[in-house]
Amino acid sequence: MGRYRVRVATGSFAFSGSNNQVRLWLVGLRAEAELGLRLRLSRGQMEDFEVDVSEDLGPLLFVKLRKTHLLLKDAWFCNHITVWVFQESTEEKEIMFPCYRWVQGDGIICLPEATAWMMRNEVQGLFQKHGEEELEERRTLYRWATWKEGLPLSVAAASEKDLPLDVRFHEGKKIDFEGTLAAGMMDIALKRLYTLLNSWKSLEDFDQIFWGSKSALAKRVHQSWKEDDFFGYQFLNGVNPTLLRRSTSLPTRLVIPPELEGLQVQLERKLQEGCLFEADFSLLAGVQANVIQGERQHLAAPLVMLKMEPDGKLLPMAIQLQPPCSGSPDPPLFLPSDPSLTWLLAKAWVRNSDFQLHELQAHLLKTHLVAEVFAVATMRCLPGMHPIFKLLIPHLRYTLEINTRARTKLISDGGIFDQVVNTGGGGHLDVLRRATACLTYRSLCPPYDLADRGLLGIPSALYAHDALRLWDIISRYVQGIVHLYYSEDKVVQSDPELQAWCQEITEIGLCGAQERGFPVSFQSRAELCHFVTMCIFTCTAQHSGINQGQLDWYAWVPNAPCTMRKPPPTTKDVTLEMVMATLPNVHQACLQMTIAWHLGRFQPDMVPLGHHKEEYFAGPGHKAVLNRFQEDLNTLEREIVARNKGLDLPYYYLQPSRIENSITI
Ligand SMILES: CC/C=C\C/C=C\C/C=C\C/C=C\C/C=C\CCCCCC(=O)O
Ligand SMILES: [Fe+2]
């Protein structure tokens, strides 16, 4: 009693096609019909068929799929199924059934039509029931696990192989990831061989391993790393722009000896002028340092005081490497007027501490691990037809796998941290725990975070400027989508799945983070929009801002040493031998360079922010919102490109075309 055109779209990456047979049913409100098609399921192809159905199916609700095989199981990646219903007037009505999943095994997969959520309380509760069954299954596939006490929960998976296929790297990504790591290890072997017969006694000796692919900015770091303004610049626009604050008083830990009265006066003057800034690494105080191959490494917990010059340059005024400790002499203050090697070593200690807080707090915790909580909660709480699922899922691609790999290779027993980082061997987990204990909702939202840190309205604060612009753009996008589905606050309040999602993130995934300002429910559309904006910002812009700089700022190892092999200086007598004995050895430096390159380089299969191909939503409203998002991003792109042309040091980590749509590395 009806004629239908059916389009079956297969994914375009390696192994998306399948040799197995797939049976299809159209499921309407009144009846369902098997289509009896012979599909070819070729990679990257769309197949169109016309079929006549003798029953009156009524309005179409679902497409059902079942893959069958004779000998070999061959998974199929289905993008979507589209059905056109021929109406009497010959006008066709298009109905979308998004899938974007692997079809494995021989179970039945049921795809609700793209606008199902709008009708969830109609059609005899069929969509509602489907959503409940879907979540029941997903909750068995995506379970929470405590990897280490005191850290956000993670997905239960001992290795990436335990993850559901839908969240695994596609073949191309896997080959690239593993291939470049192998190439990196070869690189290390060659560098070690090359340095075997040479000396490792002066800073220039690091040049012996500073070859291979390098960014232009990495070369500039190599040239300029000793300069004070270059050191200061990194707090604003380097790999870790998350720590600096404008001082509101002189820090209590800063003990200024009487003979440095002049410094006290200068600091107070800068404070009054509103030009005094600080970077405080106290979170590292008392963390146990690593022992690498029997050699104890060392850690500091510095405080850096900086002043902002009228031209926007940030210059260090004093460095205290350790907090004062009762019963011990006051820690010395290192100054730009100290002998050059002494001052250089003090700055190197700061850069080493920054490496720790950057990688563990800003990078791993505040992007990767938090995004994993969003991902697991989304899979467990939001059915595929839920608009927030559709909005977020492109921003969660590959995150569970990269994090699982981090837990097995990077921060694991014997992983990269244990091998070459001075917080490794357990200290890194303590830093993560401490950082988790003070993780606030505000700190994940740039308008609040930058205001709290006194960094608004500073022309040379490029990260801050671009982050705020991106926050606004993402916020407008989120609001556009949310308002299509939530006509008023009451609709938000009465969405049980959405409320459960929020609660699961805050109370379960983030282990009771309501104490630190995270919501346990949404009372309004505005609260929902703010939270979802934070999720997307964290998974995209923030991660890009924190991740990409590894390539530039960590390649020249003295600028950001991964470990320190001697204790911090307690006097100003510093020799070159002491500096070289403190900085990483050849192997440590080589591994740092390789991993920084591996993690910071451009990802070959990268999807830029807002440019995912998956179409989970149907209808013109959503298209218009997405188009507007892309236009806003293009405008920002042009602004940043133009701005950077006039800069000595361009800042491009938040240029939209360089921002990945999710955390994939
Ligand atoms: C110079 C950089 C050193 C350490 C980087 C530290 C933190 C990075 C934070 C998040 C990265 C997230 C995931 C990376 C996952 C895996 C890395 C794999 C390294 C594997 C090395 C190996 O031996 O195979
Ligand atoms: Fe990363």
> Atom 23 (ligand 1): residue with closest C-alpha?
409
Helix (H) or strand (E) holding 360: none
Quick: pLDDT tens for 350-387: 999 999 999 999 999 999 999 999 999 999 999 999 99
Helix (H, G, I), strand (E, B) or coil at 607: coil
What gap in Å lies between CA 347 and CA 356, rounded to an integer? 14
Q: What percent helix, strand, coil does the chain show, rounded to 5?
A: 50, 15, 35
How far does CA 360 lie from the centroid of its chain?
Answer: 12
CA of 546 to the centre of ligand 2 (A): 7
With cut-offs at 50, 70 and 90, classify the pLDDT of residue 633.
very high
Residues 6+ apart with CB under 8 A from 192: 586, 587, 590
Average pLDDT, the chain: 96
Beta partners for 34?
25
Two tokens, residue 584: 């990483």
Q: What is the pLDDT of residue 171?
A: 94
Percent of the chain at pLDDT > 90 equals 92
Two tokens, residue 598: 């591996």
SS (H, E, C) 256-288: CCHHHHHHHHHHHHHHHHCCEEEEECHHHCCCC
Quick: pLDDT tens for 262-314: 999 999 999 999 999 999 999 999 999 999 999 999 999 999 999 999 999 99
- 20: left (phi > 0), else alpha (psi -120 to 50), else beta? beta
Per-residue pLDDT at 197 exceeds 90? no
Q: What is the pLDDT of residue 596?
A: 95
With cut-offs at 50, 70 and 90, classify the pLDDT of residue 91.
low
> Atom 12 (ligand 1): residue with closest C-alpha?
406
Q: What is the pLDDT of residue 577?
A: 97
| Antiparallel, parallel or unpaired: β 154-155 and 144-145 | antiparallel
What gap in Å lies between CA 95 and CA 287, rounded to an integer? 58
- Whether the CB of 405 sits within 6 Å of ligand 1: yes
Per-residue pLDDT at 530 exceeds 90? yes
Q: What is the pLDDT of residue 317?
A: 98
Residues 6+ apart with CB under 8 A from 538: 366, 367, 370, 371, 374, 444
- Whether the CB of 407 sits within 6 Å of ligand 1: no
Mean pLDDT of 197-214: 88
Beta partners for 108?
66
| Antiparallel, parallel or unpaired: β 21-28 and 314-320 | unpaired
Residues 6+ apart with CB under 8 A from 82: 6, 7, 9, 94, 95, 96, 97
418 labelled ligand-binding: no
The alpha helices in 168-207, defined as continuous H runs, are 171-196
Mean pLDDT of 240-267: 97
ipTM over 0.90: yes
Quick: pLDDT tens for 465-487: 999 999 999 999 999 999 999 99
> Atom 20 (ligand 1): residue with closest C-alpha?
409
Quick: pLDDT tens for 124-179: 889 999 999 999 999 999 999 999 999 999 999 999 999 999 999 999 999 999 99
What gap in Å lies between CA 527 and CA 482, rounded to an integer? 11
With cut-offs at 50, 70 and 90, classify the pLDDT of residue 346.
very high
Q: What does the chain come to in residues?
A: 665
Quick: pLDDT tens for 396-412: 999 999 999 999 999 99
Quick: pLDDT tens for 598-613: 999 999 899 999 999 9
Q: Select 186-241+361-664's CATH number: 1.20.245.10, 3.30.450.20, 3.10.20.740, 1.10.1740.10.
A: 1.20.245.10
Contact at 8 Å (CB) between 32 and 17? no
Contact at 8 Å (CB) between 509 and 144? yes
Mean pLDDT of 74-96: 88
CA of 588 to the centre of ligand 1 (A): 14
Per-residue pLDDT at 1 exceeds 80? no
- Whether the CB of 410 sits within 6 Å of ligand 1: yes
368 labelled ligand-binding: yes
319 labelled ligand-binding: no
Among 147, 151, 410, which is best to mutate for testing ligand 1, by the most ligand atoms less than 8 A from CB?
Answer: 410
- 92: left (phi > 0), else alpha (psi -120 to 50), else beta? beta
What gap in Å lies between CA 291 and CA 300, rounded to an integer? 15
**Measured in Å, how far apart are the chain's first and last C-alpha atoms?**
51
CA of 357 to the centre of ligand 2 (A): 14
- Whether the CB of 219 sits within 6 Å of ligand 1: no
Among 207-216, 354-363, 546-555, the least confident range: 207-216
Among 599, 601, 664, 665, which is best to mutate for testing ligand 1, by the most ligand atoms less than 8 A from CB?
Answer: 599
CA of 88 to the centre of ligand 1 (A): 60
> Atom 2 (ligand 1): residue with closest C-alpha?
596
Closest CA to 284 of 423, 186, 106: 423
Mean pLDDT of 532-550: 98
- CB burial of 344-363 (b: ≥16 within 10 Å; e: otherwise) equals bbbbbbbbbbbbbbbbbbbb
Per-residue pLDDT at 427 exceeds 80? yes
Give the angle subtended at the CA of 507 by the CAs of 505 and 511, to the nearest 5°. Answer: 95
Q: How far is CA 86 from CA 9, 94, 98, in A?
A: 20, 9, 20
Q: Where are the domains of the chain?
A: 1-31+78-113, 186-241+361-664
Two tokens, residue 439: 């993780």
- Phi, psi of 303, rounded to the nearest 5 degrees: -130, 130
Two tokens, residue 25: 């049913």
Closest CA to 291 of 432, 410, 409, 418: 418
What gap in Å lies between CA 540 and CA 367, rounded to an integer? 9
Q: What is the pLDDT of residue 89?
A: 61
What gap in Å lies between CA 598 and CA 592, rounded to an integer? 10
Mean pLDDT of 242-256: 98
Quick: pLDDT tens for 642-651: 999 999 999 9
What gap in Å lies between CA 612 and CA 398, rounded to an integer? 13
Residues 6+ apart with CB under 8 A from 366: 242, 435, 439, 443, 444, 538, 542, 546
Among 151, 177, 416, which is best to mutate for testing ligand 1, by the most ligand atoms less than 8 A from CB?
Answer: 416
Q: What is the pLDDT of residue 93?
A: 85
What gap in Å lies between CA 344 and CA 341, rounded to an integer? 5
| Sign of the four-CA dihedral 98, 101, 103, 107 | negative
The answer to whether the pTM exceeds 0.90 is: yes
